[in-house]
């Protein structure tokens, strides 16, 4: 099992990368932590940003969040960050 502090740090880095427009790098980090709640939520948001609605909805189904919960991707990324304590 992954170290929760390492996972949170990695996901916060992925959020920073996503906000900087580095989608591929952010996506790679989210994929490494697949199965972790926050990582799956982040994965969903990243696909929403990418415009891949079907893939995004798949990842949302793995979380307690919904595709329509946030209109603004940056606000949702901030919510993911807050859930990580960052």
Each residue of 1-38: pLDDT tens digit?
A: 456 567 899 999 999 999 999 999 999 999 999 999 99
Residues 10, 32: contact at Cβ < 8 Å?
A: yes
Does this model's pTM top 0.85? My answer is yes
Average pLDDT value for residue range 61-84? 97
Phi, psi at 34, each rounded to 5°: -50, 135
């Amino acid at each position: 099992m992954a170290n929760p502090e390492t996972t949170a740090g990695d996901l916060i880095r992925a959020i920073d990368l996503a906000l900087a427009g580095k989608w591929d790098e952010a996506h790679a980090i989210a994929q490494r932590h697949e199965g972790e709640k926050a990582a799956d939520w982040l994965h969903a948001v990243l696909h929403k940003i990418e415009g891949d609605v079907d893939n995004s909805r798949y990842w949302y189904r793995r979380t307690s969040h919904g595709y329509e919960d946030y209109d603004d991707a940056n606000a949702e990324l901030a919510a993911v960050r807050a859930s990580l304590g960052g």
